[in-house]
Amino acid sequence: MAGKSVPERLSWAVETLDLVPSDRVLEIGCGRGVAAVLVLDRLKEGSFTAIDRSDKAVEAAIRRNSENVAARKASFLVAALENAEFADDSFDKIFSVNVNLFWARSSKRELTALRRWLAPGGSLHLFWEPPGAGQAREIAARVVPFMEEHGFKTTTLTGQTSTSAGLICILARLF
């Protein structure tokens, strides 16, 4: 994919995931599958799974990643997080970019599911590119205490793009 067509937030997010080739990765709210391309480039024996509640988004993501789907290295499912089901310990890294998780509303059920799906030593990465620096602080102020109350240890990372107020990642690990 030409570098130009990849939004800076997605390049930063995938760099920040610090992937290793064997990682089993879940993306929530994959949209049209642009981050998926970047992740799949970094995986060898690992695998990539994505969910999005929009069937149009999933169709586009499958088209964009058709070779990896055919090779069964990637799968894209139409599902909302609140209805998704995966086996325990299925993923080493779970991430989302610009998805309204855990800040407009705090769902213990969804966080419990994510916790269950993460393998020991796994990590959860929630990325946002908010319209202003104030919103980044607001997101962190809501999401961090919620995650910590539910057994995650969090680190808040920030990044820059050439065009926006900045990027934020809440990185959460179990302890």
Ligand X SMILES: C[S@@+](CC[C@H](N)C(=O)[O-])C[C@H]1O[C@@H](n2cnc3c(N)ncnc32)[C@H](O)[C@@H]1O
Residues near ligand X (CB under 6 A) are: 28-29, 31, 51-54, 57, 80-82, 97-100
The type of residue at 96 is S
Nearer to ligand X, 43 or 101 (CB): 101
Nearer to ligand X, 98 or 106 (CB): 98
Smallest distance, Å, CB 33 to ligand X? Answer: 9
Nearer to ligand X, 92 or 129 (CB): 129
Nearest to 52 by CA among 73, 76, 70: 76
Smallest distance, Å, CB 175 to ligand X? Answer: 26
Nearer to ligand X, 135 or 153 (CB): 135
What is the rounded CA–CA span in Å between residue 38 and residue 82? 26
CB 95, CB 124: distance < 8 Å: yes
Geometric angle at alpha carbon 93, from 89 and 165, rounded to 5°: 150
Quote the tokens at residue 128: 């946002």
Smallest distance, Å, CB 169 to ligand X? Answer: 13
Nearer to ligand X, 83 or 175 (CB): 83
Strand partners, 91: 118
Return the beta strands (E) in the chain as ranges: 24-28, 47-52, 74-78, 91-97, 118-128, 152-159, 167-174
Smallest distance, Å, CB 93 to ligand X? Answer: 15
Smallest distance, Å, CB 129 to ligand X? Answer: 8
Percent of the chain as helix, strand, coil, to the nearest 5: 40, 30, 35
